Structure 1
Amino acid sequence: MSYRISGLDPAPFLHLYHLSDEALHEHRAVRHVAGTTGGYPDRVELRDALPGESLLLVNYEHQPADTPYRSRHAVYLLEGATTAATFYDEIPLLFRRRMMSLRAFTAQDMLHVATVVLGDAMEPTVHEWLADDRVAYIHAHYAGAGCYAARIDRA
């Protein structure tokens, strides 16, 4: 089963880029600069920020469905990112180094199945779940903090 992993569309966040810290606060957002080890996972380009790169920590509604699974959480966005990454039949390096929580949802936006797996080993689960007609899409989260990482769809 062919699949696509998509980063966030940056359009809803462009107005936040380059705002002052005070102005960001009014939008419930915070600027972070990646330190010498980087390690902040950007949700637009689906990569770790490089040392010195600026990111915005924002609250994002990754599951807007009108169901009990409606959800939002903090995510990092690379400040200045303008193009969402798309990976076809490939797990991004960003995920491969982390423990991931995968959550498969039905067309009615109800949770069908979930698991926790090392990112290096998540591809067989993605294939299996997307081969199931009951699964409409998958959300990937970082298992430790529970933050939304990306959406996975059939390609």
Structure 2
Amino acid sequence: MAMVKSPLGDAAQKITGETLQGALVDLLDLSLVGKQAHWNITGRHFKQVHEHLDEVVDLARQYADTVAERAVAIGVNPDGRVRTLADRTANPQLDAGYITDDKVVAAITDVLAQIITRFRERIAATEDADPVTQDLFIGLTAELEKQHWMFSVQH
């Protein structure tokens, strides 16, 4: 069995691996919450919000892959299994069924705000442990904050 030797020391690898795993859970769950809203949205602003949700889903999926690959690059196995997501997500979940566009906008704004808070914590946690991962988190947080802004102004 091949193993990836980490370029980080044990302590830095542990801290960075934990932050990457938390980020992976956040991003995979965001993509699922976004798709759930995308499929079930109703209301006057359906088309605009429906299409905007796809932007968030695409962003989350792209960065989930980047985060997972970074974990492997430092010798940590990412865990994106459904059970792991269900057990570890901190994101609020949408109700089942149709959801009006105003409730979708409010919910996605809230989910993004919570994820951004955790990403800012990850930025701080990786400052000394792994500046490369910190840089990844900084870029991703900027994109999440942009999406948060775009949703928040639709209230």
Q: Name whichever structure is richer in strand by fraction.
A: 1
TM-score (norm 2): 0.27
Higher RCO (CA 8 Å, separation ≥ 6 residues): 2
Q: Name whichever structure is richer in helix by fraction.
A: 2
TM-score (norm 1): 0.27
Larger Rg: 2
